[in-house]
Amino acid sequence: MFTTKDRNTYIFVQKVPETLCYHCGVACVTRNIAIDEKVFCCEGCKLVYEIVAENGLCDYYKLQSHPGLSRIKSIRKEKYAYLDNEEIARQLYKFTDGDRTIVTLYLPGVHCSSCMWLLEHLHKINPYITESRLNFTTKEITIHFTKSNVSLREIVELLATLGYEPYISLGDADMKAVKGFDKQKIYKLGIAGFCFGNIMMMSFPEYLSGDTGIGMKYEHLFRYLNLVLALPVFFYCGSEFFSAAWKGLKQKTLNIDAPIALAVIITFLRSVYEIASGAGSGYLDSMSGIIFFMLVGRVVQERTYKFISFNRDYKSYFPIAVNVVTSEGVENKMLSDLREKDVVRLHNDEIIPADAIVVEGNATIDYSFVTGESEPVRVLQGQQVYAGGRQTVGQLTIQIIKPVAGSYLTSLWNHYSFANNKAETNDRNSIVHLMSRYFTYVLLGLALVTAVYWGFNDPSKIMTSVTAMLIVACPCALLLSVTFTNGTLLRLLSINGLFLRDTTVLEQIGNINHIVFDKTGTITQGSESNVVCSGHQLTEEEKDILYAAILPSKHPYSKALVKWLGYRQPVKVAEWAEATGKGLECTAGALKVMVGSAAFTGVNNDIQADEKTSVFVRIGNQVTSFRFLPVFRPEIPEVITELSHNARLSLLSGDNDNQRPVLAGLFGSGSELRFGQKPIDKLAYIESLQKKGDKVMMIGDGLNDAGALQQSNVGITLADDINNFTPSCDAILDSSKLKSFPDLLRLAGSGCNIIAASFIISLVYNFIGLFFAMQGLLQPIYAAILMPCSTLSIVLVTSGMANISALRKGLTVVSDGE
Amino acid sequence: MSALFVLVFVSIGIAGLFLMAFIWNVKNNQYEDKKGAALRILHDNELLQESNINKS
C-alpha cells in the first residue's frame, strides 16, 4: 500500500537492484553521492537527508524504508518569489491576525506514514512554525506560523526541498468556499436516531400492556414525552423533505418528496390530534422511524469522495501568479490582475496563462493539455501562442493579447453547455420521480374512493381511514430502495475503481448507447511509444553513434529513440547542429550522421514509401527509418470489443491521422474516427450525436476533453492517479481497473432492475397496510411492525442484490481498508 | 411506581449526553481524516524515545 508504483516498475526494468538510494529507494547509478555511509541517487535526496538529520528527525527513515519521493526536482530559486507579494499570499491564508497565520496547502507527494510524521514535525526544522497538521485523506497540510519570523515563501520552499512541493493554482484562490462538507445532514441523522429510539422505547409499554392498559398516569407521560421528542424530528430532521417537495411544487412537478412530505405531515397532525384528545397514542414512532431511515438512505447515497474533485476547470491548472516584466523590472502579478499588453516571462515547465505573442526566446510549446496533440510545437517570434500550452525549453517572454478569461482555451468554459447543471437536469428526469408521480395519482384516487365509500356507509370513519391510508401508502419504501440501491452501487463501483460524482450518474449510465473515446492518454498510454525500425538495421557501433548524436536533442522523437537504444557509451561527435523543425546533423569520425525528415536527410521518395515513417537516420550512406507507434493500454482491445456489443463507438483525437489504419482495425468498421479535433470540435460532435437521439458517454483524460465531457450525458475521466488533476466530469475511472470497465458499466446499469424489484416488495407492504387502512382498522402497532419490516427487507434486498450481481461479474465487494 | 418517572428522565438524559457527544465529534472534524489518525498513533512517541536515548 505504501510503495509507489513508479519505484517498483523502475526496479523491475533495471532487474539488478544494486545500491538503493537511502532516501527514495531508487537504484543509484553512482556511489559518489553519499553521507554517513548512506548512498543517495541524487543531490536532491541527499539534501533532504541532511535537513532531516540535522534536525534530529532521522526516525523518518526508521518508520518506513525509503520513504522519500524519487526524482526530486530542484526548484528554480525565484519560483515562489510571488509569495512574497502580500496580496497574493493573502489569497492562500486561511486566517491571519497580522502575525499569527494559518495556511492550508495541497501536497500531492504525501504517500505514507513517514511523510505524515515528518510533515507534522516541521516545527523541529523551523521553530517559527508553531503547528503543522496533515490531513492524510485529502493530502492537505495546515500550518500555523508567525508571519513576522517566517514567510509563506520560506515555508513553501522548505516543503519543496523536502520533496513535498505544494501545488498552488489559481483555483486555490477562489475555491475555499466550495470545500467543507455538509454536516447538517449528519446532525439531522443523529438527532432523528436519538428521538426515534426513545419514542420507540416509550411506545412499547402501551403496545404491550394488553387490555388492561398501563394506567392514565403513565399513558399521558409517555404520550406527551413522545410528542416532545417528535417535535425536533418533524421540524428539524424532516425539513429536508418538506423543502424538496416545495421546490418541486414550485416548478410544477410532483417529485418523490411530495407524497412523502404529505404523509409525514398528516401522520404528525393526526398523532397530535389523537394525543391531545386522548383518543390514542398516534403514529409518532413510525413517523420518526421513517424519517430516520430515509435520512440514513440519503447519507449513504450522498457519500462523497473527499479526495476527489469533480468540479475542476482550467483554474486548477493555471498558476496563481506570473512574472510580469515592467519598466522597473520583474514583478509578480496575480493572474486575475493580468491585462492585455502585459509582458510575461515564463520559465521551463510553466503554463501560458492567456493567449499571447512570442516576444523573445525559444518557444517550444507542449499543447497536450489543450489539444491532446503530444508533440511540442515550435513557435517563432511574433507568432501567437495559446493559453494552456506549456513552455518546454528554457525561458520565454510573451506579450498578452487577450485576457485570461477570454483566451482560446478558457473561452470553452463560456460555452452554454457549461451553464447547465448536469446533476440537476439528471435528477429532474429521473425515473424515480416518474414512478412516484403515478404512485401519487393512484394513491390520491384510492383515498377519494375510500372517502366516498365511507361517506355513504359511516361518515365518522372518513377521517380515520383516509388519513391512515395516506400514512401507510407513503412511498418511503420506494425512496429507501432507491437510496440504498444507489448507495450500495456507488460503494461497489468505488471499490472497483470507478468513482461517480453522484447517484444521478448511475441512471444515465444505464441509458448509454454511444461511447466516444479520446485517443491520447485514454486509449494510448500517455507519452510512451513503440519504436519500429526498418531499412538498414543498425550495428552496435552505429547505435552508439546514433545515441551520441541524438542525446543532446530535446525533440520528443529523439527522447523516444534514446529510450529505445537504452544506455550506451556515447562516442565523440563533432560539428553537432540542429535545424529546428527539420532535424540534426553531426560527424562521428569519418561518418556523417543526419537525423530528421526525409527532405532533410536527402532520402529519395522511393524509399519513403512508408508514409508513417517519422524519422530518417542516415549514417554514412546507410538509411534507417523509424516509426513511432503509440502504445495502447493493454486492456483496450478487449474492452473495446466488449463495449461494442452494447453501444456504438467513436474516436476523437487531437492528433493527426497517421494512425488511422491501426485504430480502424481496433474499432471495427462501424465506428467513426475523427482526427485533428479541437476541444470545441469534440464538444460539437457530441452535441450532434445527441441531436440524433443518442445517449453519449465520453471517455477522456485531459483538459482538452473538458467540453466534450461536459456536453456528454456521462463524461468519464480516465486517470492514472485518481488524486491527480482531472477535468470536470461525472465519473473518474482508475486506469489500472480499465479491464473491468464493461462489467462496471453493466453493474451500474443493473441499478434500475434492483430498484424495480425492491419497489415491488415495497408495494406488497403498502397493499397489506392499505388493506387495513381502507377498512379503518389500522392500529399504531401494525404500523410500528410494518414499517421496520419493510425497511429491513428493502435494505437487505437492495444491498444483497447489488452485491450478488457484482460478485457474478467477478468484481470485488469488500474494500481493502478505507 | 413513581421511581419510573425518575428513571425515564434519567434514561433520556443519558441518551441525550451521547447525542451531544456525537454532535461534538462531528463538529470537531473528528470524522474528516480517518486514515490520518490511524497512522498518526503509530508514531506518536518516536521523538520522545530518541531524546531519552540521547540523555542516557
Q: How far are the Cα atoms of A259, A290, A364, A508 from residue A248, in angstroms, in the given order?
A: 11, 21, 54, 21
User: What is d(CA A415, CA A418) in angstroms, rounded to the nearest whole number?
Assistant: 6
CB contact under 8 A, B26 and A187: yes
A338 with A278, same domain? no
Of B32, B47, B50, the CB nearest to A135: B32
Q: Report yes or no: A602 and A534 within 8 Å, Cβ to Cβ.
A: no
Q: Which position has the grid cell 535537513?
A: A51
Q: How many CB atoms lie within 10 A of CB A626?
A: 20
Q: Which three cell numbers stand for residue A161?
A: 526541498
Do A204 and A276 reside in the same domain of the chain?
Answer: yes
* Model confidence at A732: pLDDT above 90: no
Which residues of chain A are within 8 Å of residue B13 when distances are taken between CB atoms? none
CB atoms within 10 A of CB A722: 18
Q: How many helices (H) and strands (E) does chain B have?
A: 3, 0
Neighboring chain B residues of A117 at a CB cutoff of 8 Å: 43, 46
Q: Both A803 and A780 in a single domain?
A: yes
Give the number of other CB atoms < 10 A from CB of residue A442.
11
Q: What is the CA radius of gyration of chain B?
A: 21
> What whole-number distance in Å separates Cα of residue B32 and Cα of residue A306?
9
Residue A643 is predicted with a pLDDT of: 86
Alpha-carbon distance of A164 to A155, in angstroms, equals: 11
| Rg, Å, chain A Cα set | 33
Q: Check residue A148 and give its pLDDT.
A: 86
The C-alpha atoms of residue A38 and residue A270 are separated, in whole angstroms, by 79
User: Is the Cβ–Cβ distance between A672 and A647 less than 8 Å?
Assistant: no
In a domain, residue A422? The reply is: no
Residue A590 and residue A654 share a domain? no
C-alpha span between A27 and A440 (Å, rounded): 68
State pLDDT tens for residues A1-27.
Answer: 343 444 443 333 334 446 777 777 777
Which residue shows C-alpha cell 437492495? A798
Query: What's the DSSP call for residue A20?
Result: B
CATH of the domain at A411: 2.70.150.10
Q: Is residue A424 part of a domain?
A: no
CB distance A116–B22 less than 8 Å? no
pTM for the complete prediction?
0.73
Instruction: Look at residue A192 in the predicted model and tell me its pLDDT.
Output: 95
Based on the domain organization, do A643 and A504 belong to the same domain?
Answer: no
A vs B, Cβ pairs < 8 A, gives: 66
Q: Are residues A369 and A401 in the same domain?
A: yes
Most confident of A223-227, A447-451, A618-622: A223-227
Tell me if chain B has a CB within 8 Å of the CB of A115.
no
Total of domains in chain A:
7
Q: Is residue A560 part of a domain?
A: yes
Q: Which of A403, A393, A389 is nearest to A679 (CA)?
A: A389
Task: Give the whole-angstrom CA distance, residue A461 versus residue A459.
Answer: 5
- Is B20 an 8 Å CB contact of chain A? no
Question: Does A340 share its domain with A381?
Answer: yes
Q: For chain A, say whether B41 makes contact (Cβ under 8 Å).
A: no
- Contact between chains at B36 and A134 (C-beta distance less than 8 A): yes
In a domain, A176, yes or no: no
Candidates A434, A455, A375; CA nearest to A658 is A375
Residues B15, A197: C-beta atoms closer than 8 Å: yes
How far does B56 lie from chain A, in Å, by closest CA? 16
Cross-strand partners of A35: A38
Task: Dig out the grid coordinates for A547 from the structure.
Answer: 545515441
The contacts of residue A79 (CB under 8 Å, 6+ apart) are A347
* Spatial CA neighbour of A198 closest among A313, A291, A288: A288
Do both A188 and A300 map to the same domain? yes
Q: What are phi and psi of A305, to 5 degrees?
A: -95, 100
Using the Cβ of A199 and the Cβ atoms of chain B, whether some distance falls under 8 Å is answered with no
Q: Identify the DSSP state of A234.
A: I
**What CATH number did the domain enclosing A150 receive?**
3.30.70.100
For residue range A622-675, what is the model confidence (pLDDT) as tens digits?
888 877 776 778 888 888 888 888 888 888 887 777 677 778 888 877 788 888
Where are the strands (E) in A637-691, listed by range? Answer: 648-652, 672-674
State the alpha helices, DSSP H only, in A473-622: 476-495, 504-511, 540-550, 556-565, 598-601
Round to whole Å and give the CA distance between A596 and A501.
47
3-state secondary structure of A589: coil
Give the chain B residue nearest A186 (alpha carbons): B26
B27 close to A (CB below 8 A): yes
With a CB cutoff of 8 Å and minimum separation 6, the contacts of A15 are none
Per cent of chain A over pLDDT 70 is: 84
* 3-state secondary structure at position A513: coil
What per-residue confidence (pLDDT) applies to B55?
A: 43
User: Are A370 and A703 contacting, i.e. CB atoms less than 8 angstroms apart?
Assistant: yes
C-alpha to C-alpha distance for B40 and A110, rounded to whole angstroms: 14
Cβ <8 Å between A306 and B19: no
Q: Does residue A752 share a domain with residue A729?
A: no
Whole-number mean pLDDT of chain A?
78
Q: What string of DSSP letters covers A734-760?
A: EGGGGGGHHHHHHHHHTHHHHHHHHHH
User: Which is higher by pLDDT, A464 or A214?
Assistant: A464
| A120 contacts in chain B (CB < 8 Å) | 40
H or E element: which one contains A627? strand A622-632
Residues A647 and A596 in one domain: no
A525: nearest Cα among A377, A250, A738:
A738
Put simply, whether B23 touches A (Cβ < 8 Å) is yes
Residue A637 sits in the same domain as residue A614 = no
> Of A168, A195, A219, which residue sits at a domain end?
A168
Domain-wise residue ranges, chain B: 3-55
Higher pLDDT, A388 or A133: A133
Cβ pair B36:A136 closer than 8 A: yes
- Give the gap in angstroms from C-alpha B24 to the nearest C-alpha of chain A: 10
| Residue B48 predicted with pLDDT over 60 | no
Structural domain of A434: 430-509+740-818
Residue A802 lies in a domain: yes
Pairwise CB contact (< 8 Å): B19 & A190: yes
Residue A373 is predicted with a pLDDT of 61
Asked whether the predicted pLDDT for residue A527 surpasses 70, the reply is no
Judged against a pLDDT cut of 80, whether residue A693 lies above it is answered with: yes
Whether residue A778 contacts residue A472, with contact meaning beta carbons closer than 8 Å, is answered with yes
Q: Worst-scoring range by mean pLDDT, A10-19, A201-210, A303-312, A789-798?
A: A10-19
Backbone angles phi, psi at A514, to 5 degrees: -145, 125
φ/ψ of residue A47, rounded to 5: -60, -45
Q: Are residues A516 and A642 in the same domain?
A: yes
A76 located within any domain = no
B47 in contact with A, Cβ within 8 Å: yes
Q: A783: which residues sit within 8 A by CB, 6+ positions away?
A: A283, A286, A471, A472, A769
Task: Please report residues of A whose CB lies closer than 8 A to that of B46.
Answer: 59, 62-63, 117
Residues of A in contact with B8 (CB under 8 A): 202, 221, 225
Q: Which helix (H) or strand (E) holds A324?
A: strand A321-326
Angstroms from A140 CA to nearest CA on chain B: 10
How distant is the alpha carbon of residue A244 from its chain centre? 27
Interchain proximity B35–A136, CB inside 8 Å: yes
Question: What is the model's pLDDT at position A116?
Answer: 80
- pLDDT confidence of B16, banded at 50, 70, 90? very high
